[in-house]
Amino acid sequence: MINSDHQQAIELMLASGDHNQLLLFCQQVLAVHPEVTDYYPYLGLAYLLLGQQATAQEIWLFWLLQSESSQDLIVLLKKEIIRNLDCWQFAQAKLIYLQWLELEEIEGDEEIENYALTVINSCLQEVQEAINRREYTLAEDFYLRILSWREQLAYIWHDLGYLYYIINRLTESFNCLARAINLEENQALYHYTMAMVLEKQSRLDLALSAYQKAIDLKDNFIDAYNKLGNLFYKLGQLESAEKFYQQGINKQADFYPFYINLGNVYLVKQAWTEAKNAYKTVQQLAGDRGEISQNLSLWEILQADQKRANRLF
């Protein structure tokens, strides 16, 4: 039986993550009192958390052969799973969880899995706050911690990929988004974000395809229509740009950026009336915006230049 002072010391070492000290403590006690076998589960746990899984299993097996039941070890490991989840130490929680599943001889535990998802949601709130504060390294760390618990969370791969996009780590962004798409290929948002990364990498043909894939999966994806139109405009393919702006307007007629961009297309095409009508629509939808005043001024200058040129020729 472990006395109360020793139990308290063990709890403090586990809470502080001082696993080397826990290992040394258990070894010293067992060297003096080998008959107090209740220290063996903690000794094995210390080895496990220090990355020596085989040694941990040997110690637990030795202890189990002397014990009437494995229940004490099962209870200890479950308690440590929960404690590590609560501390957002997802990698350590997963390590202990896998050992616990072996002892229980089961493939998974719904109670723990659901509890982990609750903790993950709490962690994601902190991630968002970190991003809002532009503490991107902290946000990255939390995402990676979550993935150490479950690599199959496609939305975490996507969000990490988007974080990397924000901070211009494009190769890592691409790799994360590829993982997300591989896990859930029918998520329009994943293809849309991938398209933005590809566009930033100047892989424009692939970006066009990715934006189109996002629209194919979600035909009212307004931002995808706008981005696709913008990319065609950048490539000088005005007819295609106009086509996707118009398709977007058909889906959501009050999204004023469509009209700004459509007006710009008409300006280049010298379709003066259509350009002016598009800019006027923006004013109706969004009020007087500086960029529209500038565009209308440019429209007046270009139209006047065109009229002068027509008179000369």
**60-71 per-position pLDDT tens digit:** 988 888 877 788
Contacts (Cβ under 8 Å, ≥6 apart) of 66: 37
**Maximum mean pLDDT: which of 67-81, 117-131, 283-297:** 117-131
- Contact 181/191 with Cβ under 8 angstroms? yes
Section 255-278 average pLDDT:
92
pLDDT of 304 > 60? The answer is no
Instruction: State the pLDDT at residue 300.
Output: 58
Instruction: State the pLDDT at residue 287.
Output: 72
DSSP state of 229: H
pLDDT of 307 > 90? The answer is no
Alpha-carbon separation of residue 261 from 219, 291, 300 (angstroms): 20, 11, 17
- Contact 200/169 with Cβ under 8 angstroms? no
Report the candidate in 216, 213, 220, 183 with the shortest Cα–Cα distance to residue 198.
Answer: 213
Instruction: State the pLDDT at residue 279.
Output: 87
- Contact 299/279 with Cβ under 8 angstroms? yes
Instruction: State the pLDDT at residue 251.
Output: 97
- Contact 246/273 with Cβ under 8 angstroms? no
**What domains lie within the chain, and their CATH numbers?**
1-68 (1.25.40), 71-150 (no CATH)
Output the six-digit token pair for 22. Answer: 């826990």
Q: Give the global pTM.
A: 0.85
Report the C-alpha dihedral over residues 241, 242, 245, 249, rounded to 10 degrees: -170
The rounded mean pLDDT for the chain is 91
Q: What pLDDT digit, counting tens, does each position of 137-157 carry? A: 999 999 999 999 999 999 999
Output the six-digit token pair for 216. Answer: 């194919």
pLDDT of 299 > 90? The answer is no
Section 198-206 average pLDDT:
98
pLDDT of 26 > 70? The answer is yes
Report the C-alpha dihedral over residues 164, 169, 170, 175, rounded to 10 degrees: -60
Cα–Cα distance, 59 to 95 (Å, whole number): 16
pLDDT of 306 > 70? The answer is no
Report the candidate in 242, 249, 194 with the shortest Cα–Cα distance to residue 217.
Answer: 194
Burial of 108 (0-12, 13-18, 19+ CB in 10 A): exposed
